[in-house]
Amino acid sequence: MKTVYDFVVKDRKGNDVSLKDYEGKVLLIVNTATGCGFTPHYEPLEAMYKEMRDKGFEILDFPCNQFANQAPESDDEIHEFCTLKFGTEFPQFAKIDVNGETADPLFAYLASEKPFEGFGKGLKNAALNKFAAANNKKYGDKTYIGWNFTKFLVNREGIVIARFEPTVDMEDVKMAVEAAL
């Protein structure tokens, strides 16, 4: 059975990192952007990381520029922004694509394990759904991620156990992480 531990990703310096290095930890894998309306999610993410990393929790941050050009900076500039503005300490990897023919295999796998089911109900969610659909139509059947700050929760065995769209309340994400720990 395939798990996230079967994947190798690039760190922000271009070096290979085996996700097997995170074996036995609870992971929250997130695609991010510095210029998105959800960028403030970095704050509760970092708070969760500080609170729970000693219990075996890791956040893996993958910047992506496929959503309305909201992460155009270099990997180093993105890292500097996140550490200076939000004090992030969790691992940040090289910028990737999460949709289309060039989608990172990790995100294609994550989305195949927990497919997109919508952003939820309400006017704000409906507006995001409409905007995302227009942005993502170019990826066709290779649209894996709806928008920035989609989060995948992975248990200690490397199995994807939950997907959280950016519209999900961060307290709900935190409760799920705590339960997984």
Residue 76, SS3 per DSSP: helix
Question: What is the rounded distance in angstroms from the CA atom of residue 155 to the CA atom of residue 28?
Answer: 9
Q: How many residues are present in the chain?
A: 181
Percent of all residues in the chain with a pLDDT value above 70, rounded to a whole number: 100
| Topology of domain 4-180, CATH | Glutaredoxin (3.40.30)
Reported pTM: 0.95
Q: Report CA-CA distances (Å) from 142 to 29, 100, 123.
A: 19, 5, 26
Model pLDDT, residue 129: 83
Residues 93-150: tens digit of each pLDDT: 999 999 999 999 999 999 999 998 888 877 777 888 887 888 888 898 889 999 999 9
Q: Residue 166 and residue 173: Cα distance in Å, rounded?
A: 10
Q: What percent of the chain has pLDDT over 90?
A: 83
Q: Domain residue spans in the chain?
A: 4-180
Residues 66-99: tens digit of each pLDDT: 999 999 999 999 999 999 999 999 999 999 999 9
- The set of catalytic residues is 36
Distance of CA 173 to the CA centre of its chain: 12
- The contacts of residue 130 (CB under 8 Å, 6+ apart) are none
Asked whether the predicted pLDDT for residue 53 surpasses 90, the reply is: yes
Mean pLDDT of 23-45: 95
Residue 10's pLDDT band (cuts 50, 70, 90) = very high
Token pair of 103, please?
A: 């989608």
DSSP assignment letter at 71:
-
pLDDT computed for residue 91 by the predictor: 96
